[in-house]
Structure 1
Amino acid sequence: MKRIKKSVHLVTMLIILVTAIGATEYRRQQRVCTQISVAIEHDGIESFVSEREIRGLLQQGEKSIIGLPLNGLELKQLEHRVLGNPYVEWANVHYDLEGKVHVAVQQSRPIARIIHPKLPDAYVSTTGKLLPLSGRHTARVMLVGGTFIPKLIKGDWNQDSTGNQLLSLAKYIEQDDFWRAQIAQMDVNQQGEVTLHPQVGKQTIKFGKPDQIAEKFDKLELFYQQILPRKGWNYYNGVNLTYENQIVCD
């Protein structure tokens, strides 16, 4: 008799458990999107993409996804749409138990502006991605020009060996407070050799190939700290950093 009661009890508990699971699954399938939450990480720079733009990318045709069943939303497809904005570096879309759709966005960070007389200007991001100019803000970043630019104005700088080196150079300058303020422009010739133009002082800085970056900037720092104070800021017209263990001034 006890065994029968125990078996009945187990069957009853199993039925209750299955019913609860079924009810939970039914409620899950009936849940709809109640709200959209957008979080944009700007990384301390101007906002080049807005919440309104992100919400617009989540439309299903001309309709908002609010009110649509959550189980009918293609989250990866929504992420792909958000990534269609050139200023979005990374995106994640998910929903919670309350029906709220969360969109997390990492904004691309421009570190240089590419200029060329025959080509439209563009920004390059920290990851080497080319970005169109924005109607919202103008990034205060170093200019990059020269005859090598047509080779870099399309695609990703990481796909070109010289472009990859130039990206490392631009990032090195951007990450240092002094050099970011002092270097106004970087010109690159057909051979991929770099000339830097400072904000203060008339000297052109012959950097050469964008390699041995830290060593060359150590020499340039020495030039600013020890040579110019003795000779004066406008005494030299140029400084050459291309020779190993040497600083050549003219």
Structure 2
Amino acid sequence: MKNIRWGLVFYSFLGIAALVGLTVLMGLINRKDGSQVCKSLKVNVEGKETFIDQQDISKMVNNQFGTIVGKQLQQIKYQEIEEAIKKLPYVSSAVIHTDMDGTVTVSVKQREVILRVINSDGREFYVDTKGHKIPVTLKYVPHVLVANGKIRESYTKALEPIETETVKDLVKIVNHVTGNDLWENQIVQIYVNDQNDIELIPRVGKELLVIGSADSLDYKLKRLEMYYKNILPKVGTEAYAKVNVKYGGQIICERREGWYMDSLQMKINMKN
């Protein structure tokens, strides 16, 4: 008896008792989960857009899968509901989980759009941050740039990727000017003319800003900044119909009266 390590025996017994208690508790929980019913359906919609709301998701779930509240938790088809929600064109992701009190929570994240496109056929769609086409809805109109004109990008179904170089260039422009105080405030629309050149329509001034494509975009925008800082204050907002920085090393200003071309050859010092 003296050689028995009572401390070890005590702790071993305590560990076995705890294990048995945990097993019994898990069994009770599993039995409770099996008979537990959904007491409430909670929907959280994340994202700055408001294409969809809690009522839209709740209505869709109840219409496609029957009324959730009052149904046993084990009978709810969680994975199928998640997949159905993910198929909505405005949804980026969806996750469902349940609480011990019987609350089923649906967490939905919306897609973020950055551009509204009106193609040459008059079809409209949004482009999201992943480069997918999102359908236009009358329920919500996000505050994003609109691009129109000679845009040959087709639209047949939601979530198809953008294909043409023109729209890819438009997306590059939007991403480039986002966060820039000057250009976010100054550019109100983007237009693709008959020569397939991209034009920026400014908020202040009546001249069109021709940049051609999204190549060397930073260099082109810096030349436009030089126009606003060094030329516009001298000639005023009525002097030119177009300001073209499509070609390197130049700022070509087209006078509003007639078609006289006033070409200003400028050497750009990138350090200045």
Query: Where do 1:97-136 residues align within 5 Å?
Result: 97-116=100-119, 118-136=121-139
Change (3 A) 1:235 1:21: same
Distance 1:11 1:171 in 2: 60
CA shift for structure 1 position 68: 2.1
If asked which structure has higher relative contact order (CA below 8 Å, sep 6+), I would say 1
> Is the aligned partner of 1:223 residue 2:227?
yes
> Is the aligned partner of 1:89 residue 2:82?
no
Distance 2:38 2:71 in 1: 6
Of 249, 253, 258, the match for 1:249: 253
TM-score under structure 1 length normalisation = 0.82
Change (3 A) 1:104 1:10: closer
Change (3 A) 1:121 1:24: same
Contact 1:193 1:210 in 2 (8 A): no
The structure with more radius of gyration: 2
Distance 2:216 2:100 in 1: 53
Unaligned runs of 5+ in 2: 255-272
Distance 2:64 2:90 in 1: 22
Of 16, 21, 35, the match for 2:26: 21
Change (3 A) 1:245 1:79: farther
CA RMSD after TM alignment: 3.0
Contact 1:126 1:171 in 2 (8 A): no
Secondary structure (helix, strand or coil) at the match of 1:247 reads strand
Greater displacement, 222-231 / 28-37: 28-37
Secondary structure (helix, strand or coil) at the match of 1:119 reads coil
Amino acid in structure 2 at the alignment position of 1:71: Q
CA shift for structure 1 position 118: 2.9
> What is residue 137 of structure 1 aligned with on the other side?
140
Secondary structure (helix, strand or coil) at the match of 1:123 reads strand
Contact 1:142 1:180 in 2 (8 A): no
> What is residue 156 of structure 1 aligned with on the other side?
161
Secondary structure (helix, strand or coil) at the match of 1:151 reads coil
Contact 1:59 1:65 in 2 (8 A): yes
> Is the aligned partner of 1:235 residue 2:246?
no
TM-score under structure 2 length normalisation = 0.76
> What is residue 211 of structure 2 aligned with on the other side?
207
Distance 1:184 1:150 in 2: 21
> What is residue 70 of structure 1 aligned with on the other side?
73
Change (3 A) 1:222 1:153: farther
Amino acid in structure 2 at the alignment position of 1:73: I
CA shift for structure 1 position 12: 7.4
Of 29, 47, 61, the match for 1:42: 47
> What is residue 264 of structure 2 aligned with on the other side?
none
Distance 1:201 1:83 in 2: 44
Unaligned runs of 5+ in 1: none
Change (3 A) 1:166 1:32: same
Q: Deviation string for 1:194-246 (max 9, x for gaps)?
A: 12222321211111122222222222122112210111111111111222233
Distance 1:115 1:94 in 2: 40
Distance 2:120 2:247 in 1: 32
Amino acid in structure 1 at the alignment position of 2:85: V
Greater displacement, 64-73 / 233-242: 64-73
Change (3 A) 1:207 1:11: closer
Of 179, 183, 193, the match for 1:179: 183
Q: Deviation string for 1:160-212 (max 9, x for gaps)?
A: 55533321212233443432332232223587531222232121111112222
Contact 2:119 2:154 in 1 (8 A): no
Amino acid in structure 2 at the alignment position of 1:245: G
Q: Percent identity?
A: 29
What is the aligned residue count?
A: 244
